[in-house]
Amino acid sequence: MFSDNLALEKSTWQSNAYLIKQRPYNTWGAEKAVDGRYTELNAASGQCTISRKNQYTAEWGVDLEGVFSIHHIFIQYRTENEHWGMSVFFK
């Protein structure tokens, strides 16, 4: 099965990004979604991209640097390290 991650470490952008002005770097920027890290799915881990508070929609994009036939896209949601299910979905 062909399962290359075409987005890994590519250029990204995000609308409504959550930024903290006191920090010299963007802890939760769009690049977190393509850095290959996903073992800690919580806000404190620095492995997730996060949108601004009170935003119900967000757009995120990645420049794949080419044209590809894509079989599927997998999006891993932040779950605060709880198993995915109804209790996580409706929080």
**What band does 26 get if pLDDT is binned at 50, 70 and 90?**
low
Its pTM stands at 0.69
The H or E element containing residue 61 is strand 60-62
Average pLDDT on 19-24 reads 64
Confidence check: pLDDT of 90 > 90: no
What are the pLDDT digits (tens) for 29-70? 888 889 988 888 888 888 888 888 888 888 999 999 999 988
d(C-alpha 13, C-alpha 62), whole Å:
7
Confidence check: pLDDT of 88 > 90: no
